[in-house]
Structure 1
Amino acid sequence: MKIRQILNNNIALVDRGGNEIIVYSKGISFLKKVGQPITEAEIEKVYVLDSEDRLEHFSYLLQATDEQLIEIVNQLVTFGKTKLNTTLNDYIYLALVDHLSFAIDRSKKEQFISSPLTWNVKKFYSKHFEIGMYGLDLLHKQYAIEFPEDEAVSIALHFINQQFDEAVLTQTNSDLKTLKHILNIIKYHFNIEFDETSLNYSRLITHLQFFIERLHRKENYQEESSVLFEQVKTLYPDAFEAVQKIAIYVLGKYDQELTQDEYTYLMLHVHRVVQRRD
């Protein structure tokens, strides 16, 4: 491989088999010149981007970004791959360098973002949120900046976006909103705050996630256990009223009516989460 362009002491644009790639390693370009070779043994990280425009954009960013931030991004992506046990497209390095550079600039003006997805990401993408918090910790250690949790969500979304194509992500966000709306119906009906650490809350969340998936597939429980339905309805009238409100919401959003069995299971979960200890 021969050097095409030196971006800084640690990064170079090289020619590998007729393709341009970016290579990283501490001191890899130090005292070297364009046209000189670089061996595989000298390289710590290779960035392969899928278009010339992205390669050019990333090259520019790397030249304009301080070396400490590049190292932070490398550590963050490595942590993310391990945490999610997955591979990630190298485009995420470009996206994170771009995003974090701007975030640091904003912080100097005390301009911090507020994300409407903070609640959703913390509850349902906890691993991705943990990656975001790890990134904030790295930034704090290097730059002594106290970012709010919303910034961790913004970092987490880069990793979420990498794992879902646009159509799936759009559907996922829609499902998260549905889940939150149903939880709010229960919360405001009983005028309570959920104990989000409880087993019954976790069971309710799991049931609702599968319930929403069934709504998409237009599937319902069809065991026709009308006796059990009447018993539960009689035993837990408040839960029945809450599920009636959920049924109205579902009818309006999905144009589907709940079966007696869906009513029964929802009533049981609602009653447990608002009345019982684990």
Structure 2
Amino acid sequence: MRSYRNSLFWLNLMYVPALLLFLLFIVYPFLQGVRISFTNWDGFSQDYSWIGFDNYKRLFTDENIGLVVKNTFIYGFGSTLLQNVIGLLYAILLNQNIKTRGLTRSIVYLPVIVSPLIMGYIWYFFFQYRGGALNDVIMLFMDQPVDLLANSSLNVWIITLVNTYQYLGVAMIVYLAGLQSISKDYYEASSIDGATAWQNFFRITLPLLAPSITINVVLNLIGGLQLFDVITALTKGGPGFASQSLSTLMYKSYFGSQDAGYAATLGNLMFVIIMIVSVFSLAFLRRREIQA
């Protein structure tokens, strides 16, 4: 009886509430989404029919899906690259013993606490065609304003930059924590050997930041691939499908076209893409940690 009480049985029961919440709010909605993708449900009516794989056939024959997936990858990988490069540079700079570094860290991190939708609207007033701050400057040198958000070759990158700006502080904080965990003994030993600053960075700093790089890359990829709020605020996915992502197209299909079955199919595609990208990137970066 005593051994039973001292066993891990009661400790393992502590997982049950978390497991139930996971099943209720994650697994069950996912399974419901899979089920709905095989129907023609409009999202509101009580009546719907099973249509088999028709939604998936429609998905792979949709002439716009290639552009939408391409945009989704640009948002994911573009934001990840910029956030990690700029975030690391900020972290290295603000890890130095300089004045006002605490204030500067707060300023860089401040956009993170703002709602992504609000952040998108703030930048909309900066880029908008008439009365936008950027066009006010452009009008000093040109006769006509430039509609940057309607430019299909630029608006995707503008959205990527705005998303990068907002979540740059998260990458910076993670890298700062990683830099502060590196012992100064490594740099003292390298200085005795006459190593340069670049050699210190590539031979000491970067390898020892491998766990921080893994965290930032995976989180940034997941966040970028499901980007929604900033796109909605800046372009609403337009013009046409020029800046649509899978998440905004899913929203448009559900609420705009009342096509919940196809929206669920798009959601399943987005889930598969995010799962594959995150699992493979995590496995690759973990392997690099071990090698480092």
| Structure-2-length-normalised TM-score | 0.21
Q: TM-score, normalised by structure 1?
A: 0.22
Between Structure 1 and Structure 2, the one with more helix by share is 2
Highest relative contact order (Cα 8 Å, sep 6+), 1 or 2?
A: 2
Flag the structure with higher strand content: 1
Greater C-alpha radius of gyration: 1
